[in-house]
Amino acid sequence: MSGGAPKFVVITGGVLSGLGKGLVAAGLGMLLRSRGLRVTPIKFDGYLNVDAGTMNPYEHGEVYVLDDGTECDMDLGTYERFMDVTLEGDNNITSGKLLLSVISKERRGEYLGKTVQFIPHVTGEAKRWILRVAEEQGADVVIMEVGGTVGDIENAYFIEAIRQLSNELGRENFAFVHVTLVPELPSGEQKTKPTQHSVSVLRSMGIDPDVIVARSRRPLEPKARQKIALYCGVREENVISDPDVGSIYRVPLLLEEHGLAERVAEVLGMSSAKAQAPGHGEGDLAELRRLLDRWESSRESVAVAIVGKYTHLRDAYASLLAAIDHASMHLSLRVDVRWIEATDVERGLIDVRSELEGVQGIVVPGGFGRRGAEGKVESIRVAREEGIPFLGLCFGLQLAVVEYARSVCGLEGANSTEVDPETPHPVIDLLPEQRGVGGKGGTMRLGAHPAVLRPGTLVHRIYGADLVFERHRHRYEVNPMYHNLLRGCGLVFSGTSPDGKLVEFIELPDHPFFVATQAHPEFKSRVLRPHPLFTAFLRACSGEEI
């Protein structure tokens, strides 16, 4: 439990977005945790969506799902993976959530005739939110990442709320870390002016940064460091160089080497006490370094095809790629990911069999809607017929059932009603109780749900457990009217909801590895704790018998 009042680290971004601020926050969290501190992250997003549920992956990358069913920004995934924490909806504050809460209170008459304003009402709501999360989650340190770039209108009031809070709780309890870009001229000279400008924007909002993390192509040169320290009013040792590294997993190690956690702990006045004491996670960094060294020098590799619909936008599959990385890191196996655009397969633009030649495994990940579905079904057929290891996730399970129904059970035209509402064999369908309920988002099955695993199945062996909880995000289900027929044709239901009504896992016995789940196990994989399904899948890809 927390040893006293919490401390706060505030991470802002300057110059431009996409600098990897989330990774700095997650990496710092991992470093502070390795010192035995309880760390709670909060991500603030300025957009007006209440959650990320209806956001298109093209626009915003993957929609990440928490145990409690919150659909949120993918940065929360980065936090969970690196810090090895389980977060709640409250760890993601959006402008939409804050305003909804203030406006609902206004409608209930809670402001009693007052003019409801950004300051003090919305800022007050933000402050209470932050303090509540810190208290409820027993944090020693709260790491708050402010989305976007300083100077954006939509995050300005949030930065103001934090400024007020630092004033009320004492500036000594706050460390302001500003992440900026130090570009390089063709001559190789590192330029600090953009950093100076973004710090002056921050200052105009009443915040003096304590630490500057300078993102650059190459390590920061002494001259650039001195200039940043001088113009931005921070100590030279508090300018942390964060150069490009080959792998994101090296970032925490790099930040540790460059002293980020030490500097932050010092600013917070924790340097002599807890922050320096060896903590429960002290072995984590050593373990990460050992794994990376082995992984990066490993020569064994497999090719895995991902058949999807957003294949030119890798962010749409961030958690899937992370889960593959974690498992392959622990197996010291290099994975060459080959993207197959399901829409191209469907349109006959590419031949899936030749595309899958030389591939040792196939993943069909989650997805929505009709486009590309037939291309995925075709890939699943090849995986089943050719004995190529297959892992189906959510939509991937549904389409594996569709393929099996058509090819093995002889149900011609079988489909999901999501793809073909007129199908004669709706093997995947909405349950009767879901029909006619709510608008978009209303009927979605979200968050962690239990699955009972059947002893004797591959899935049961892989998990080594009778009951598992995985995160869900879907509307459709394997139609209970077809359960007996599918099972009768040899499809094994290796896991179901405790009442037996919903199919959670399927597998095929006469196949090296044909496993699919209605859930999204990729959301529970951690850098240092890979998910067993992914490890087993990759082992199967490299030819091991599972």
Q: What positions carry a catalytic annotation?
A: 394, 520, 522
373 binds ligand GLN (CB under 6 A): no
Which candidate, 151, 120, 168, 134, places its Cα nearest to that of 41?
Answer: 134
Instruction: Tell me the window of 6-14, 51-59, 87-95, 365-373 that interacts with ligand GLN (CB under 6 A).
Output: 365-373
367 binds ligand GLN (CB under 6 A): yes
- Distance, in Å, from the CA atom of 399 to the CA atom of 404, rounded to the nearest integer, reads 8
Instruction: Tell me the window of 110-118, 311-319, 474-482, 529-537 that interacts with ligand GLN (CB under 6 A).
Output: 474-482
- Distance, in Å, from the CA atom of 44 to the CA atom of 126, rounded to the nearest integer, reads 10
Residues that bind ligand GLN (rule: CB under 6 A) add up to a total of 11
Q: Please say which residue, 238 or 416, places its beta carbon nearer to ligand GLN.
A: 416
Distances (CA, A) of 216 to 116, 240, 262: 43, 11, 21
64 binds ligand GLN (CB under 6 A): no
418 binds ligand GLN (CB under 6 A): yes
Q: Please say which residue, 38 or 474, places its beta carbon nearer to ligand GLN.
A: 474
CB-based contact 188:221 (threshold 8 Å): no
What's the min distance (Å) between Cβ of 398 and ligand GLN?
Answer: 6
H or E element, residue 215: strand 211-216
Which string of b and e fits 484-509 if b means at least 16 CB within 10 Å? ebbeeeebbbbbbeeeeebbbbbbbe
178 binds ligand GLN (CB under 6 A): no
Q: Please say which residue, 473 or 483, places its beta carbon nearer to ligand GLN.
A: 473
What's the min distance (Å) between Cβ of 63 and ligand GLN?
Answer: 9
475 binds ligand GLN (CB under 6 A): yes
Structure tokens, 377: 């079904």
- Distance, in Å, from the CA atom of 526 to the CA atom of 85, rounded to the nearest integer, reads 9
CB-based contact 497:518 (threshold 8 Å): no
CB-based contact 513:305 (threshold 8 Å): no
- Distance, in Å, from the CA atom of 127 to the CA atom of 168, rounded to the nearest integer, reads 10
For residue 332, what is the DSSP state? T
**Interstrand relation of 334-341 and 301-308 (parallel, antiparallel or unpaired):** parallel
What's the min distance (Å) between Cβ of 457 and ligand GLN?
Answer: 22
CB-based contact 31:86 (threshold 8 Å): no
- Distance, in Å, from the CA atom of 433 to the CA atom of 99, rounded to the nearest integer, reads 33
Tokens 């460091």 belong to 225
Which of 368, 417, 420, 542 touches ligand GLN (CB under 6 A)? 368
- Half-sphere exposure for 101 (CA within 13 Å, toward CB): 17
For residue 243, what is the DSSP state? E
What's the min distance (Å) between Cβ of 88 and ligand GLN?
Answer: 21
473 binds ligand GLN (CB under 6 A): yes
What's the min distance (Å) between Cβ of 422 and ligand GLN?
Answer: 18
What's the min distance (Å) between Cβ of 413 and ligand GLN?
Answer: 19
What's the min distance (Å) between Cβ of 195 and ligand GLN?
Answer: 41
For residue 75, what is the DSSP state? H
Footprint of ligand GLN on 237-296 (CB under 6 A): none
395 binds ligand GLN (CB under 6 A): yes
Neighbours of 343 (CB within 10 A): 17
What's the min distance (Å) between Cβ of 475 and ligand GLN?
Answer: 4
Q: Please say which residue, 395 or 463, places its beta carbon nearer to ligand GLN.
A: 395
Instruction: Tell me the window of 73-81, 159-167, 310-318, 362-370 that interacts with ligand GLN (CB under 6 A).
Output: 362-370
394 binds ligand GLN (CB under 6 A): yes
Instruction: Tell me the window of 377-385, 456-464, 468-476, 497-505 that interacts with ligand GLN (CB under 6 A).
Output: 468-476
- Name the residue whose CB lies closest to ligand GLN: 366
Footprint of ligand GLN on 493-522 (CB under 6 A): none
474 binds ligand GLN (CB under 6 A): yes
CB-based contact 49:289 (threshold 8 Å): no
**Interstrand relation of 467-474 and 445-453 (parallel, antiparallel or unpaired):** antiparallel
Q: Please say which residue, 73 or 145, places its beta carbon nearer to ligand GLN.
A: 73
476 binds ligand GLN (CB under 6 A): yes
Query: Which residues bind to ligand GLN, rule: CB under 6 A?
Result: 366-368, 394-395, 398, 418, 473-476
